[in-house]
Structure 1
C-alpha cells in the first residue's frame, strides 16, 4: 500500500462532542492543573509538553489529529489530499485553504501571510526552533491570495503533513511576532507570554512557572463556544496533589499527566469527585545518553557541545552495559501497572512502525559487568566502583521532580551500582527542566548531566518528523539559544541519509522498514537512547466537566472549546 493512495482518499473526520450550551461563557469558570508549570506560551521556543499544551488553548494549527489519530481541519477548510487537489500529483506541494472570516483574538483578519510567516519564523537560519523537524524538506511557502497557502518541498514528500499540523506547529500572528525573527525570538517576552491567537481562550495574565488567567476569545469562530467565560490554568506542585485536587477535593476540573503508581490513582478515584482517563499513544519514558562532555570545568559555551566528546559515554559498550543492567518489567510494575508496558523502542506505535527488538526486556547484570570489563573498566582499588586510566566510572543522572521518576532513579542507581557504576542523582522541578529558558543551566535541552530521563511523544501517527529530530543539524547549542530536538547530540551521516529517504518514500511498508531501522540505530544498535516504558497517558477530569475526549495523538487540550459544565 502506498502513502500516496492514502492521500487519494478522504481524510477521516471525527465529530466532536455535541455542544451542551447555547451561549458563549454561560458555564462560568473552569480550573485546569498541570503539575509541570508552563514557562512560555510559544511551542517554537520550547519542546516541553506543558508549554505546547498550554499554548494550544490560545494558538492553533491548520489541522489537528483527533483521538484516533485521524487528521481533522481546524483553521483550514479541509485536509488537503491528492484526491481533492490539495496535494500535487508529484507530491512536491501541499495547498491549504483557510476558512473565510477567521479573526485573531484582537479582531484582525487571519491571512495566509500569517501562515507563511510562521514557517519563516521557525526556519530562520539565525534562530533556534524547537519544532524545526516539522519543516524538514520545505523549500518555500507561497501565498497566492489571502486564504491560500502553498508549501513547496525540495523533493516529493509522501507525508506532507509536518508543517502546521498538530499542537506542535500552530500559526503565529505576523503582526505580533514580526520583530522576533532569528536570534531575537527569545527576547520577545510580551509575545511569547501572551500570544494573540485564534483559539477559544485569550491570555489575560501569565505568571511563568505559576499560573495563567484566561478568558473566552470574543472573536472565536464559533459564537456559541467556549462554554466557559474564564479559565485558570494552574501550574506547579506534584502529580499527587494534582490528582487529589480533581478526584478527592473537587478544587480543579482537569489534571494532566498523573504520573503516579496505579494504586494511588485508584485510591484517589474513590474520592468520588473525578474520573481518571487513560490511553496509549507514543509516549516513551527513556534515558538519554549525553555524547558530549557536560563538565563544569569547561568554558561556558563549550560545555555539552560537539567540541568536546563525552569521556565515558562515547563508548557504546558502556552505554549498552547501562541498558543491560535495567529491569524494565519491574519498573513498569512499580511505576505504572496496567498503564505501562516495558519497551526497547523509541517509536512504540503505531504497530506497523514498531521494531520487533525485545532484547532489552531481560535484565542481564552479569553480561553488563562483562561488557564493562571488555571496555577496560575494572575496579583496581576494591571500592566497588570501576575505573579506567585514573578516572572513576561515575555519572550524574538527572530528571524532573516526580515520585515515580525518583523511584526509577533509585532503582537504576542500585542496578548500576551492582555493575560498578557510581551514580549521583539530581531532580529538577519539571517547570524548569522542561522549560526553554536559554539562561537556565537546568533544562533538559542544555543537558548539563551525563544521563537524563524523561518522556515525550509525537503528533499524529507518522513518526517521520519525530525521527528527523535526531539529525546532525538539530543539536541544542549556544548559537540556537539552546533550542534543538537532538538532545543527546547524536550524529550519524547514515542516519541523516535514511531520514531523507524516509521523507521521499511512499510505500507504507517501506516507510515502516526505514522507520524501524532509524529507531534501532539510536536504540538497539547504539544505545544512545535507552527506552524504558511505553507509557499510557493518565489524566483526570471532574465529574461535572463534560466534553472531555482524551487525545494521545495531539494536545490533550485539543477540544477544550467543546468542554462544558454538567449540572449536578
Structure 2
C-alpha cells in the first residue's frame, strides 16, 4: 500500500486559512448593515462574472437571476413540465409539435409577444448556441397564427418540450438585436426589465416590469454584482454590501448563520461534482485504472469534512429520488485494497520504491484541474489528490480560471478535471446521458465512446412509454457506472445566504445554480 499523509495536513491547513481570512476581515458579532439600502431594492452577490447578457449565450444570469426573459416551458418542483409563455403543447406526429402561446404577454417595449417573436428567438438561439441546436434538432419552425407555432424536428425528439425549459431558449423581441443579429439589449417578457450593465464593474441592474403578465413582482429594482470569489461573497453579505448571495466557503456557513440578521439555507440540488477523465491519456484509457481512482476516493469523508455536509455522496448522475434514476447503484466505497489490486492487475506498480506507481518507464502522475468560484472545489481537489496518493498515484491539483480549463481540454493538455454539473435543466434523463456519454455528446470532454451506450440512447427516441424509456436509461447508467469515464464524487449542496429581511424566496431545484423569483420582497 502507498501512504502519503502530507495531503491531509495540507487540506486541514488550507481550510484553517480560509476560515481565519474571512473571520479576520469582519467582527465576529453582528453582520454589517447598509445605510443606503432601498427597502424595495435587492442587491445580489452573484457567484459568476457576468460575461454576457445575451440569453442565447448565457444560462446563468439574465434568465435565472435577473428574470428579464422567460421560456415557453417551465417545471414544477417534481420536475414535471408546466406552462410558461406556452399554455399547452401537443405532438401531432412523430416529428411535429404544436405550441399554443399566451395571448396576454407584452414585451418590455410594449409590443405584443407573437409566434413570430418565438420563431425569431428560437432560430437565433439555434444559430448561436451549439447545445441548443443539438438538443432541439429542428428541421423547421412555422408560424400557424399569432399564438400558434409548429416545430418540426429532423428526427424523433420526445423531450422537445423539456428542452424548451432550457434558459438559452428564452424569448426576446427582435428589436433586441442589430442588423447582424448581435444583442443591443435584451427586451424580454419577464417580471424585471433590463436597465443597465457596466462591464467594468461587473454590475447588472434591472427594474420592475409593471405590466408583467404574471402579476405584481415584489421589488422595484435588483442590482446584481458579479463576485466569483467565495470569500468576497461572504464578506459582502456580512458587511451589508449585498442582501443575498450563494455558496460562501462551506467552513463558514454555520458561523455566518449564527450572525444576527442573516440566515443560511442549505439544499442538496440536482448537480453533481464529477471528475472528467481524459481517455486519450495512457493509463486513464484503462477501465481498471479509472475504477481504482474511484475506489480510492472517500466520498463520505469529503462530504463531511470538505463540504461540511452541504451535499451527499454520489453514485449515478441523478439524485436517487429522481424518478428516472437507477436506484440499484450505490456510491463507490473507499477500498484501498481493491484499488491496489486493480492497478497491479493493470501493470502499474512501484518499481523504484519512490511511492509512485509506474509502467514501462512512465510514472502514474496526473494533473487535476478545477476552479475556485464554487467553494467546495479547491479543497475537494486537495483531498482527492491526498487519497490517490495513498495508492501510488501522484496528483497535482491546479486551480485555474474556468475558461483556461476549457482551453486546456480543447487542446488535450489535461488528465483530470473536477467540476459540478447540472443534471435537471432539461427535466429528462436524455439531456444528461446524451450530452455526457454519447460519442458526440456536447459535454463529453473525456472522449468516451461505447457503441452499446449510443445504441441504448438512440433506442429511447422511438419509445413513448416512459417506464420503458427509463429502463433503457438505467442500463446506460449501469454501464458508465462500471466503466467510470467520468468519476462522480458527490451531489452538490447549495448554501443560500440572505438577510432576514429578504422574504418570499423559493428554491428552484431545476436552476443552473439558483433562481430568484418574482415573489421576493424586502420587509423592514
The TM-score, its normalising length taken from structure 1, stands at 0.76
Does the Cα contact within 8 Å between 2:310 and 2:493 map onto a contact in 1? yes
Deviations 1:494-530 (A, max 9, x none): 32222222233222322221222222333x2211111
Aligned to 1:278: 266
SS of equivalent residue, structure 1 residue 353:
coil
Q: What is the alpha-carbon root mean square deviation over aligned residues?
A: 3.1
Number of the residue aligned with 1:93: 96
| Range with bigger deviation, 102-111 or 392-401 | 102-111
The aligned residue for residue 29 of structure 1 is: 41
Shift in CA distance, 237/344, structure 1 to aligned 2, threshold 3 Å = same
Kept in 2, the 8 Å contact 1:396–1:450? The answer is: yes
Please give the alpha-carbon distance, in whole angstroms, between the structure 1 residues aligned to 2:306 and 2:146.
51
User: Which residue is equivalent to 1:520?
Assistant: 478
Separation of aligned partners in 1, 2:67 and 2:253? 26
Alignment counterpart, residue 432 of structure 2, candidates 461, 466, 471: 466
| Aligned counterpart for 1:450 among listed residues 378, 398, 415 | 415
In structure 1, distance between residues paired with 2:375 and 2:209:
41
Which of 51, 60, 79 is matched with 1:69 structurally? Answer: 79
Asked whether 1:236 is paired with 2:220, we answer no
Residues of 2 paired with 1:70 and 1:116: CA distance? 24
Equivalences for 1:473-484 in 2 at 5 Å?
474=440, 484=442
Equivalent residue number for residue 184 of structure 1:
none
- Cα distance in 1 for residues equivalent to 2:455 and 2:56: 25
What secondary structure sits across from 1:504 in the alignment? coil
Q: In 2 relative to 1, CA 389–108 (structure 1 residues): closer, same or farther, beyond 3 Å?
A: farther
**Matches of 2:226 and 2:411, distance apart in 1:** 22
CA distance in 2, matches of 1:197, 1:258: 31
* Distance 1:467-1:95 versus aligned 2 partners, 3 A rule: same
| 1:332-378, Cα deviation, whole Å (9 max, x unpaired) | 11133443211221122444322245454311112212222222222
User: 5+ unaligned residues in a row in structure 1: which ranges?
Assistant: 1-25, 81-85, 182-187, 292-308, 435-439, 476-483
Structure 1 residues 218 and 271: CA distance shift in structure 2, 3 A? same
Task: Give the distance between the partners of 1:69 and 1:213, measured in 2 at CA.
Answer: 30
Secondary structure of the 1:95 match is strand
What count of residue pairs does the alignment treat as equivalent?
Answer: 485
Shift of 1:243: 4.0
Partner of 1:116: 119
Structure 2 vs 1, CA of residues 260 and 133 (structure 1 numbering), >3 Å: closer, same or farther?
A: farther
Q: Distance in 2 between matches of 1:148 and 1:224?
A: 23
Cα distance in 1 between the residues matched to 2:248 and 2:150: 40
Counterpart residue number, 2:203: 212
Distance 1:556 1:74 in 2: 20
3-state SS in 1 of match to 2:170: coil
Q: Is the 8 A contact 1:164 1:171 kept in 2?
A: no
Aligned to 1:45: 57
Q: Secondary structure at the match of 1:214?
A: strand
- Measure how far apart 1:168 and its partner are: 4.7
Q: Is this contact kept in 1: 2:329–2:478, CA < 8 A?
A: no
Residues 274 and 179 (structure 1 numbering): CA distance in 2 closer, same or farther, change over 3 Å? same
Change (3 A) 1:396 1:557: closer
Name the residue aligned to 2:383: 411
Alignment match, 1:437: none
The offset of 1:403, in angstroms, is 4.4
Contact 1:316 1:526 in 2 (8 A): yes
Q: 1:150 and 2:150 equivalent?
A: yes
Query: Displacement, 1:560?
Result: 2.8
Structure 2 unmatched runs, 5+: 1-37
Compared with structure 1, are the counterparts of its residues 556 and 419 closer, same or farther at alpha carbon in structure 2 (3 Å cutoff)?
closer
Deviations 1:402-452 (A, max 9, x none): 54322211111112112221212111245x469xxxxx736x777742111
**Cα distance, 1:214 vs. partner?**
1.6
Report deviation, 1:73: 2.3
Distance in 1 (CA, whole Å) between partners of 2:393 and 2:56 is: 37
Residues 1:123 and 1:166: Cα distance change in structure 2 (over 3 Å)? closer
Q: Give the match for residue 399 of structure 2.
A: 427
Indicate conservation of the 8 Å contact 2:162/2:427, yes or no: no
Structure 2 CA distance for aligned equivalents of residues 502 and 530 of structure 1: 24
Q: Is the 8 A contact 2:162 2:426 kept in 1?
A: no
2:446 aligns to what?
488
- CA separation of 1:104/1:44 partners in 2, compared to 1, >3 Å: closer, same or farther? same
Cα distance in 2 for partners of 1:236, 1:351 equals 32
> For residue 298 of structure 1, what is the aligned residue in structure 2?
none
The CA distance in 1 between the partners of 2:202 and 2:144, in whole Å, is: 41
Residue aligned with 1:130, SS: helix
The residue matched to 1:510 in structure 2 has which SS?
helix
Cα displacement (A) at 1:170: 1.7
Whole-angstrom distance in 1 between the partners of 2:229 and 2:213: 35
